[in-house]
Amino acid sequence: MGDGTAVRPPHRPDGGPAGDAQRLDGQARRAAAGAPGGPTGPAGRPAGEAGAGSTPLDVVLYDTTLRDGTQRAGIHLTLADKVRLARRLDAFGIPYVEGGWPGSNPKDAAFFRVLQDQPLERARLVAFTSTRRPGHAAHHDPVLAAALAAATPAVCVVGKAWDRHVTVALGTTLAENLAMVRETVAFLKEHGREVIFDAEHFFDGFAANPDYALAVLAAAEEAGADWLVLCDTNGGTLPGAIAQAVRAAAACTRVPLGIHCHDDAGLGVANSLAAVEAGCRMVQGTVNGYGERCGNANLLTIAANLELKMGRRCLPPGALAGLTALSRFTSEVANLPHREEAPYVGANAFAHKAGIHVSALLKEPALYEHVDPARVGNGRRVLVSELSGRANLRYVLGSDLDEPALARLLARVKELEHQGYQFEGAEGTLALLAWEARRAADSSGPAASGSTLPRSAGDPPEAPFVLESYRVTAAHEPGAGSRVEATIKVRVGGRVVHTAAEGNGPVNALDAALRKALSEVYPDVQQVRLVDYKVRVLEGDAGTGARVRVLVECTDGRRRWGTVGVSTNILEASWHALADGLRYYLLGLHASGLNAAAAAAGASGEARPDADAAGGPGPARTAASRVVG
Ligand SMILES: CC(=O)SCCNC(=O)CCNC(=O)[C@H](O)C(C)(C)COP(=O)(O)OP(=O)(O)OC[C@H]1O[C@@H](n2cnc3c(N)ncnc32)[C@H](O)[C@@H]1OP(=O)(O)O
Ligand SMILES: CC(=O)C(=O)O
């Protein structure tokens, strides 16, 4: 392969060349010249150390989501998914993107063919492989041939560094394993590749037989490896032991070190950072920590910590603010739920529920936030629940309710949560409550939304609509199947409308009858669709007689909002949630939020953008919250 272009080899601490000049293809040249800081910096600079015009990187990130990440249970990426993800990582500014193991399966081989035709813009693409098989020559090994056929500028070779693995898993001698490492690295170097040597089980090997683990590194170094990456493959090592072993390795080699950790002891990120402090310059990991068993070290958490906590540059300027978007994009592509509690990027990473927290946060955000969420492209959320204080409501609703009205509203929220309501996912219902509280405070009169929430006063006449009665009949007749019909009587626009509709279930029939009744006065109501419906049994041991909570989500195609109903009768709970979903819309609260002033400040509990309609992942989906950033 190659077009005869020589690029400089990667870093040697002494500034000298790491090996023979490499003949690389166009992609390699682009990566060397254009990667953020240049993974293999121009003019023989250390990887991550750039030439004129770009800022050097202190730590080089290496993403293995497309290889190690796919070893997670439950992930299955198509070829198109892999290509999309690789391009996104490239655009984000990850210097090394490991695309897969071409000797493993046809999909990975095809992936590299696609990227040969349309290379990445800035990142250096890496093919993964293992050392040659015991007792076979490297140049006859089909797995190594596949790695070369991938035609990438860099190849990552995994080799055993734990003596027990050599004798048990490989079933060969310690000397033969050293030869496998040496000959494989040398073979790939002869073919002009930058070689990243992943010393599998280095830390377990170092604990069991340090001399042998270090001898494996020496074999790779002698053969010209450009990076020696120390792997905590079983993920069970503690940070102190990681640091000690990294220092021991650093004392024995002149090749830059990297770290590759797994999260089996919940220490993947901590161990990676400990390794950086002890001298590693490359960090391998995966987006969202995807990986075999408990996962790999989460590269996004590592990047944020390096940049924000350790003052080590590892991303191009401005990239950090795209961290949350990259994480959500990757979850979407992987078809996995986005982990809400993920550090920095999760929907809950800056979500505040406790009243005491919110009260202090309003005085000074740093009192309950370790960093500004905007720095990683995330936003603050304040939730309303039975754990709220007035500060939560003030934050979410704006400030036009006086303190006594806020206190009354808060008491009502807490009482309703005690009955089984949950406002976290129901900003529509909260908005109706607040609207009523505001109207009551303005007029000292009764509440006005017509909401079906439990209240002492009856529905007031100025509500968008008021239920007079409904009846739902469900019948099953042999041969005819089931039939459901709802009739409804509502006061709307000053008169009583009586309609009926059929549906494929009782909720559907009731929904259809209500819309029919409303559509003459409110033709817009047809734009509102129910997009989610969830039922939760609140007291499981009461069996079918239990109270249930129904949460529905509606959309008008642009925004989404949630409403909630609670009853021992599932139909009644559904009616409450459905009717409030429409009331919220008809009162214009979906657009204006809870009050004009708060809405103008972008501060109300207004509806969320509809991510599906917008065609992409939107902000957090739980609501009754103000989302900032
Ligand atoms: C720590 C890591 O994550 S390393 C990456 C692990 N990832 C994967 O295994 C996913 C991709 N793997 C595959 O597609 C397949 O396992 C393949 C193509 C690599 C091999 O498939 P097979 O030839 O059928 O072998 P199988 O998977 O059953 O066993 C693995 C073989 O590799 C050998 N092996 C393990 N590590 C190494 C190594 N570093 N160098 C050389 N050979 C190795 C094993 O000894 C075993 O050989 P054996 O069959 O002679 O006992
Ligand atoms: C190389 C690798 O994936 C590991 O050792 O975990």
Per-residue pLDDT of 249-267, as tens digits, reads: 999 999 999 999 999 999 9
Neighbours of 254 (CB within 10 A): 13
The minimum-distance atom of ligand 1 relative to the CA of 201 is 1
Residues 99-134 as b/e (b if ≥16 CB within 10 A, e otherwise) read bbbbbeeeebbebbeebbeebbebbbbbbbbbbbbe
446 and 490 part of one domain: no
Q: What is the 626 CA–ligand 2 centroid distance (Å)?
A: 42
561 and 579 part of one domain: yes
419 and 508 part of one domain: no
The minimum-distance atom of ligand 2 relative to the CA of 64 is 3
301 and 369 part of one domain: no
Which residues line the pocket of ligand 2, CB cutoff 6 A?
68, 158, 198, 200, 231, 233, 260, 262
126 and 262 part of one domain: yes
Q: What is the 200 CA–ligand 2 centroid distance (Å)?
A: 5
Residue 457 belongs to some domain of the structure: no
Q: What is the 198 CA–ligand 2 centroid distance (Å)?
A: 7
**Among 390, 366, 40, CA closest to 192:** 40
Query: Residue 610 — very low, low, confident or very high, per pLDDT cuts 50/70/90?
Result: low
The pair of structure tokens assigned to 362 is: 């309003």
Q: What DSSP element (H or E) covers 128? A: strand 124-130
Residue 611 has φ and ψ, to the nearest 5°, of -60, -40
Spatial separation of the C-alpha atoms in residues 123 and 353, rounded to whole Å: 40
Is pLDDT at 129 greater than 90 in this prediction?
Answer: yes
Query: Residue 29 — very low, low, confident or very high, per pLDDT cuts 50/70/90?
Result: very low
- For residues 540, 541, 544, 547, the Cα torsion angle rounded to the nearest 10 degrees is -60
Residue 160 belongs to some domain of the structure: yes
Query: Residue 37 — very low, low, confident or very high, per pLDDT cuts 50/70/90?
Result: very low
Single residue among 521, 541, 563 that ends a domain in this structure: 521
Tell the residue nearest (CA) to atom 4 of ligand 2: 233
Count of alpha carbons within 13 Å of 128, Cβ hemisphere only?
Answer: 24
Percent of the chain with pLDDT over 70: 82
- Average model confidence (pLDDT) across the chain: 86
Q: What is the 133 CA–ligand 1 centroid distance (Å)?
A: 9
Query: Residue 541 — very low, low, confident or very high, per pLDDT cuts 50/70/90?
Result: confident
Residue 278 belongs to some domain of the structure: yes
What ipTM did this prediction achieve? 0.97
| Domain interval for residue 582 | 352-452+528-629
247 and 367 part of one domain: no
Q: What is the 291 CA–ligand 2 centroid distance (Å)?
A: 10
Count of alpha carbons within 13 Å of 445, Cβ hemisphere only?
Answer: 11
Residue 495 has φ and ψ, to the nearest 5°, of -135, 165
pLDDT in tens, 133-179: 999 999 999 999 999 999 999 999 999 999 999 999 999 999 999 99
Q: Where are the alpha helices (DSSP H) in 235-338?
A: 239-252, 268-278, 299-308, 323-334
118 and 186 part of one domain: yes
Contact 212, 181 (CB under 8 A): no
Percent of the chain with pLDDT over 90: 74
Q: What is the 128 CA–ligand 2 centroid distance (Å)?
A: 10
The amino acid at 21: A
Indicate the SS3 state at residue 126. Answer: strand
Residue 334 belongs to some domain of the structure: no
The minimum-distance atom of ligand 1 relative to the CA of 105 is 14
The pair of structure tokens assigned to 385 is: 């629940």
168: domain CATH number is 3.20.20.70
Residue 460 belongs to some domain of the structure: no
| Rounded average pLDDT over 441-454 | 56
The DSSP code for 286 is B
Q: What is the 119 CA–ligand 1 centroid distance (Å)?
A: 28
Single residue among 475, 504, 521 that ends a domain in this structure: 521
Tell the residue nearest (CA) to atom 44 of ligand 1: 170
Residue 333 belongs to some domain of the structure: no
The predicted pLDDT at position 401 comes to 86
User: With a 6 A CB cut-off, is 286 part of the ligand 1 pocket?
Assistant: no
User: With a 6 A CB cut-off, is 170 part of the ligand 1 pocket?
Assistant: yes
Indicate the SS3 state at residue 41. Answer: coil
Query: Residue 440 — very low, low, confident or very high, per pLDDT cuts 50/70/90?
Result: confident
The predicted pLDDT at position 627 comes to 35
248 and 289 part of one domain: yes
The minimum-distance atom of ligand 2 relative to the CA of 231 is 5
- For residues 298, 300, 301, 306, the Cα torsion angle rounded to the nearest 10 degrees is 120
Q: What is the 537 CA–ligand 1 centroid distance (Å)?
A: 48
Spatial separation of the C-alpha atoms in residues 91 and 275, rounded to whole Å: 27
Spatial separation of the C-alpha atoms in residues 570 and 550, rounded to whole Å: 8
pLDDT in tens, 282-322: 999 999 999 999 999 999 999 999 999 999 999 999 999 99
Spatial separation of the C-alpha atoms in residues 195 and 155, rounded to whole Å: 5
Query: Residue 621 — very low, low, confident or very high, per pLDDT cuts 50/70/90?
Result: very low
Closest ligand, as measured to the CA of 216: 1
573 against 602, higher pLDDT: 573
Spatial separation of the C-alpha atoms in residues 97 and 183, rounded to whole Å: 25
The predicted pLDDT at position 36 comes to 34
pLDDT in tens, 344-376: 999 999 999 999 999 999 999 999 999 999 999
Closest ligand, as measured to the CA of 132: 1
Residue 19 belongs to some domain of the structure: yes
Q: What DSSP element (H or E) covers 386? A: none
The predicted pLDDT at position 607 comes to 65
| Rounded average pLDDT over 45-59 | 59
509: domain CATH number is 3.30.160
Query: How many domains does one find in the chain?
Result: 3
Give the neighbor-by-neighbor strand order of the sheet with 351-352: 351-352, 381-383, 625-627
473 and 417 part of one domain: no
The amino acid at 586: L
Spatial separation of the C-alpha atoms in residues 269 and 309, rounded to whole Å: 13
Q: What DSSP element (H or E) covers 181? A: helix 174-190
**Among 203, 289, 195, 213, CA closest to 241:** 203
Pocket test for ligand 1, best of 133, 160, 200, 286 (most atoms within 8 A of CB): 133
CA angle 580, 583, 589 (to 5 degrees): 110
- For residues 21, 22, 27, 33, the Cα torsion angle rounded to the nearest 10 degrees is -20
User: With a 6 A CB cut-off, is 201 part of the ligand 1 pocket?
Assistant: no
Query: Residue 478 — very low, low, confident or very high, per pLDDT cuts 50/70/90?
Result: confident
Q: What is the 114 CA–ligand 1 centroid distance (Å)?
A: 25
The pair of structure tokens assigned to 582 is: 């429409």
Tell the residue nearest (CA) to atom 3 of ligand 2: 68
Spatial separation of the C-alpha atoms in residues 198 and 157, rounded to whole Å: 6
Single residue among 476, 492, 521 that ends a domain in this structure: 521
The pair of structure tokens assigned to 1 is: 């392969």
382 and 285 part of one domain: no
Is pLDDT at 42 greater than 90 in this prediction?
Answer: no
Residue 98 belongs to some domain of the structure: yes
Phi-psi region of 540 (alpha: psi -120 to 50; beta: other; left: phi over 0): alpha
Beta pairing partners, 153? none
The minimum-distance atom of ligand 2 relative to the CA of 262 is 6
DSSP secondary structure string for all residues of 315-383: S-TTGGGGHHHHHHHHHHHHT----TT-TTTSTTTTEE-SHHHHHHHHH-GGGT-SS-GGGGT---EEE
The pair of structure tokens assigned to 245 is: 């072993």
How large is the greatest C-alpha to C-alpha distance in the chain, in angstroms?
93
Q: What is the CA radius of gyration of the chain?
A: 30
User: With a 6 A CB cut-off, is 272 part of the ligand 1 pocket?
Assistant: no
pLDDT in tens, 335-346: 999 999 999 999
The predicted pLDDT at position 373 comes to 98
Tell the residue nearest (CA) to atom 6 of ligand 2: 233
103 and 212 part of one domain: yes
405 and 470 part of one domain: no
